[in-house]
Structure 1
């Protein structure tokens, strides 16, 4: 299990699907791009701002309910990646509750708790910036980061379904 942090939230007014990029805190600093709905991205954005205690949004309200219970939110986990979909869970003491990754990330940011990811998900869907977008092509670190950003601008969720596609 690896700890991750949010390094980028990308939302476009066009047809592009919102994207959050998580980065491995230690180790090879692999990046994990997760596509989500506009609502999910909005929840993550709002979790980075001060909440309105008099008019909480749904994530703040849910967080208040969780925080007032007997089990505090210890962590969130990205636990699986299947057919282009990520799966997450909230860790509440000894209990784990299934959640969408966008909701789990929003809760983690609001609660200030860690985001973890199982190694298999990072091995399957993570991107190693040291390898670059085109593995085997030598370049400086700045070039690699720029190529990855260009990759993020052009990639879409269907690129990660695992389907070989028809020639």
Structure 2
């Protein structure tokens, strides 16, 4: 497993939202970033949490976090465990008064919850090897060049490109 962070959310050429997960330890994945296609609402929810914005009314993931806390639980970690036919799968590990519980989840929901609760996000080595792409973009010095290069990459990539 490789610990990652949310590096950003972008739109691909088809105007679909992509969350970009980057290893916390650059040496751990040798310049790889993991793009995961998600829905528009999930993208908004993740951005709200990552940027520390407080919405006027709680979003669904805010409710999830409040429920976990109200039940005296905590999110221990989130793991993106596998990718099958272009679909990513994740698990949320909860600490509860009754012990650890592992719950199946969509990566977008799991990451939105982890972002709110300060929980670490992990990606299975195999997922990163199968679906990760080179992170040459973030190695450049000029921020605008990085964004332009990444946009060109997103224009040419399709979710089917990540199927094994």
Is this a same-fold pair by TM over 0.5?
yes
Equivalent residue, structure 2, for 1:137: none
Equivalent residue, structure 1, for 2:102: 96
Equivalent residue, structure 1, for 2:15: 16
The Cα offsets for residues 19-65 of structure 1, whole Å up to 9 and x where unpaired, read as 0100011122420000111122122122233334x731111011100
Runs of 4+ in 1 over 6 A off after TM superposition: none
- The structure whose residues are more often helix, as a share, is 2
**2:92–2:105 CA contact under 8 A, matched in 1:** yes
Structure 2: how far apart are the matches of 1:114 and 1:91? 10
Q: Which runs of 5+ in 2 are unaligned?
A: none
CA RMSD in angstroms, aligned pairs only: 2.4
Structure 2: how far apart are the matches of 1:158 and 1:120? 17
Aligned mate of 1:57, from 56, 59, 66: 59
Structure 2: how far apart are the matches of 1:24 and 1:75? 15
Structure 1: how far apart are the matches of 2:103 and 2:123? 15
Structure 1: how far apart are the matches of 2:60 and 2:73? 20
1:110 aligns with 2:116: yes
- The structure whose residues are more often strand, as a share, is 2
Equivalent residue, structure 2, for 1:2: 2
Q: Which runs of 5+ in 1 are unaligned?
A: 133-140, 163-167
TM-score (norm 2): 0.80
How many angstroms does 1:149 deviate by? Answer: 4.3
TM-score (norm 1): 0.79
**1:11–1:41 CA contact under 8 A, matched in 2:** no
Structure 2: how far apart are the matches of 1:112 and 1:4? 13
Greater Rg by CA: 1
**1:43–1:102 CA contact under 8 A, matched in 2:** no
Aligned mate of 1:78, from 73, 77, 80: 80
Instruction: Determine which structure has greater relative contact order: mean sequence separation of CA pairs < 8 Å that are 6+ residues apart, divided by chain length.
Output: 2
Equivalenced residue count is 151
**2:82–2:90 CA contact under 8 A, matched in 1:** yes
Q: Bigger shift: 39-48 or 103-112? A: 39-48
